[in-house]
Amino acid sequence: MAEITILWADDEIELLKPQILYLENKGYKVISVTNGQDSIQKCAEENVDVVFLDEHMPGLSGLEALPRIKSKAPEAPIVMITKNEEENIMEEAIGQQISDYLIKPVKNKQMLLTLKRLTDNKRLVSEKAGANYQKEFQKIFMRFQEKLTPQQWADVYNDLVYWELELDNSGNEEMQEILENQKQEANTEFCKFAGNNYINWLDNEDDEETPVMSHTLLENKVLPHLIASKPTFFILIDNLRLDQFKTILPILTQYYNLREESQWYSILPTATQYSRNSLFSGLLPSEIEDEFPNYWRNDDDEGGKNLYEEHFLDALLDRTFHDEVKYEYHKITNFNSGKKLEENILNSLDNHLVVIVYNFVDLLSHARTDTEVLKELAYDESGYRSITHSWLQHSPLHTMIEKLADHDINLCITTDHGSIRVKTPSKCIGDRNTTTNIRYKTGKNLSYVEKDVLAVEDPYQAFLPKPSVSSSFIFAKDDRYLVYPNNYNYFVKHFNDTFQHGGLSLEEMIVPFGWLTPKK
């Protein structure tokens, strides 16, 4: 550890020699002065790491010297030392952004703890987080080697995301790299598991081990609560991964208590036109096509693929409640529509259900693929989380959520699917009508690397549409993406390291659900 220099300003510095000697024996360098003016001068002359500043000194007091010290040494944390425990003195010092305060007589251990927190906190946090993850590493590894249920896989992924956020905050790059490798191993095992069980889940949705999925989410998590006296606001943020949800959760819990945090499974493909239409209809894609042939759009059909979500929701509510539920549906695709809804949101309180679909995160992931500036801002998962947090912090959705916290409501936050940062190209071949998505393909006579994909030869088995007799689907596993041999190098350069969805991975398939109620 590099030597830490402390500037200690106190008019009774002679009485503090035992404490100064204690710090010097611990490896700190201490510069002592007896008044506020000298403390300012020393900050200008010396490289000071921490300032201990007596609140009450003759001439220029500590409180008066504080802003001038900060101007000379803006990076140095300032610890106010005082005999005065009056609340107004403390508030004034805190208002001037001191880092801590100590009450005289100063105790050695208390002083040392403050110094370690201020000067060595990052290293200590990094080492502690790394040590804690090392303890858990083998436990997590052994878990995904076992025969797990869908819920247990969700728990494993939840643990991996927890450590991803912990290590990200600690800055421990060595442990982050180990965790990244463990996530890749977990994804490999999860893809085997989901590939072996996916069709069975769809065929046996009442089985106790079948997870809640896109088409059963509302039925299981939301509809049972609707004929209560309080309105339910159901906010779906498109393409919100579990790690992003956990990153924005502190914004929500400023105003709300988290009553339930759980995960559910998106259907395949993990793409908006399939997962979100399924979510709002309570049906699987082939069932939607049968029930609403005029509203379902296949991949190769022209026009928007999610234009009839409100119609699907209306039909689901009618089947379940027979017109007993009053609801609203809003889709927000830009700032102005979000601002308009925020300004009028309290007019929606007389509904049983208010559905709000926010498309920002999905738009961000697509824009990042094509925009160099966004690639730099959201270079990796950490940057992606940071932008998501910043967006919510400054968006009309945040203001809307804060307004609603003054009222007796239920608040649900969820998504339709996640996304994964793709890194491994896999060659495939299809005809000219094969879909363009690089995480899944549907078409005729598909050729592909078998180990890289989950193949569904008969789409009806997976409750997917079948535009022609020979149509099939393939879903890229873990971090792979599907590219054609023609222009192979161009596609690899363009899509490598981008966030994509539609395929099979922990990040795309296991997605968050939060149920919150206002604190007030």
| Residue 47 CB contacts under 8 Å (≥ 6 apart), including other chains | 5
Question: What tens digit of pLDDT does each residue of 310-334 get?
Answer: 999 999 999 998 778 899 999 998 8
- Contact, 20 vs 32, CB < 8 A? yes
Question: Residue 83's pLDDT is what?
Answer: 76
Question: Residue 430's pLDDT is what?
Answer: 85
Domains delineated in the chain: 5-119 (3.40.50.2300), 122-203 (no CATH), 214-419+509-518 (3.40.720.10), 421-507 (no CATH)
Q: Is residue 367 scored above 80 in pLDDT?
A: no
* Average confidence (pLDDT) over 65-81: 84
Question: Residue 317's pLDDT is what?
Answer: 95
Residues in the chain: 520
Q: Is residue 240 scored above 60 in pLDDT?
A: yes
Helix (H) or strand (E) holding 191: helix 173-203
322 bridge partner residues: none
**pTM of the shown model:** 0.81
Query: Measured between alpha carbons, how far is 64 from 37 in angstroms, rounded to an integer?
Result: 10
Question: Residue 345's pLDDT is what?
Answer: 96
Residue listed under structure tokens 């009839």: 308
- Contact, 518 vs 203, CB < 8 A? no
* Average confidence (pLDDT) over 205-219: 94
Q: Is residue 468 scored above 90 in pLDDT?
A: no
Alpha-carbon dihedral sign for residues 446, 447, 450, 453: negative
Where does 371-424 have alpha helices with state H?
A: 372-377, 381-393, 396-404
* Average confidence (pLDDT) over 162-171: 87
* Average confidence (pLDDT) over 164-178: 85
| Residue 45 CB contacts under 8 Å (≥ 6 apart), including other chains | none
Query: Measured between alpha carbons, how far is 31 from 13 in angstroms, rounded to an integer?
Result: 11
- Contact, 161 vs 242, CB < 8 A? yes
Helices and strands (H, E) in the chain, number of each type: 20, 19
Residue 116 exposed, middle or buried by CB count within 10 Å (0-12, 13-18, 19+): middle
- Contact, 456 vs 410, CB < 8 A? no
Q: Is residue 376 scored above 70 in pLDDT?
A: no
Work out the number of other CB atoms within 10 angstroms of the CB of residue 4.
Answer: 19
